[in-house]
Amino acid sequence: MISGVHAIVYSQQAEQVREFFRDVLEWPFEDAGRGWLIFAMPPAELAVHPAGENSHELYLMCDDVEATVEQLRAKGVEIATPVADRGWGLVTKIMLPDGSAIGLYQPKHPSPLKPTAG
């Protein structure tokens, strides 16, 4: 029935944000025409949390947040917040070229991407 997920990042500086995903994160992409890049994302998971208001968030996941932060800094990426232990993961935010931030975290919770034996 569902064959994938298409996430969208809206930006007033779309070209610079596309360059970030292409050149800094080095995600594979297809040019859908006239520079409209569509990126292949790493495997993903979806969580649904209770909340007082409806909203959506996007986090990039990594296996070692400290090492990933250092790799991103070496590529000129600004880290927006210090790494913090939230219990469910080690979390920070990284700045995109348009001035917005995106979450980055090293999960500490079980993941369907890495099933536990049992």
Give the domain extent around 87: 14-43+55-107
pLDDT surpasses 80 at 114: no
| Residue 37 pLDDT level (bands cut at 50, 70, 90) | very high
Asked whether 65 and 106 are in contact (CB, 8 A), the reply is yes
The structural domain count of the chain equals 1
pTM of the model: 0.87
> What digits encode the pLDDT tens for the residues 42-84?
999 999 999 999 988 999 999 999 999 999 999 999 999 999 9
Q: Is residue 3 part of a domain?
A: no
Counts of helices then strands in the chain (DSSP H, E):
2, 6
Mean pLDDT computed over 34-47 = 92
Q: What pLDDT is attached to residue 118?
A: 56
CATH number, domain containing residue 34:
3.10.180.10
